[in-house]
């Protein structure tokens, strides 16, 4: 991969890390506040289902997590296993998008609940 491509991955890794940092805090604070307020899991799901803002929040959360993880695993595979090249880069991108799709599907399931 070119130096410019490496730079893009470095930036993407940092941007997704920032998104994940905020998303994890929002997620955990929301759960802690809801549980301390006496809400059960079913009540929480009832409140967030049909809410487009929560759907978008969790879709962005899932996309950031999928891409962040795939970029990290790509770096590990390149360093430890010597897996390099465009074919492997595309494979890691596919893995990241597939992982994100699973998370987005789960969020969509909550939206439709």
- State mean pLDDT over 89-110: 92
pLDDT value for 47? 84
Highest mean pLDDT among 1-10, 14-23, 34-43, 87-96: 14-23
Residue range(s) defining the domain that contains residue 50? 3-112
Report the alpha-carbon distance of residue 28 to residue 21 in Å, rounded: 11
**Closest among 99, 60, 95 to 74, alpha carbons compared:** 95
Average of per-residue pLDDT across 82-101:
92
In the predicted model, is pLDDT for residue 95 greater than 80?
yes
**Residue where the block lists tokens 């905020």:** 22
pLDDT tens, residue by residue, 21-73: 999 999 999 989 988 988 888 888 888 888 999 999 999 999 999 999 999 99
Alpha-carbon span 35 to 63, nearest angstrom: 26
Share of the chain above pLDDT 70, in %: 99
Predicted pLDDT of residue 26: 96
Structurally, the chain folds into a number of domains equal to 1
């Amino acid at each position: 991969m070119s130096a410019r491509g490496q730079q893009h991955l470095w930036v993407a890794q940092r941007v997704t890390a920032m998104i994940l940092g905020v998303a994890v805090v929002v997620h955990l604070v929301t759960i802690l506040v809801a549980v301390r307020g006496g809400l059960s899991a079913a009540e929480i799901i009832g409140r967030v289902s049909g809410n487009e803002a929560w759907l978008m929040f969790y879709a962005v959360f899932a996309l950031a997590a999928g891409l962040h993880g795939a970029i990290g695993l790509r770096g590990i595979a390149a360093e430890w296993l010597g897996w390099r090249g465009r074919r492997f880069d595309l494979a890691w991108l596919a893995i990241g998008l597939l992982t994100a799709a699973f998370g987005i599907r789960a969020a969509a399931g909550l939206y439709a609940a």
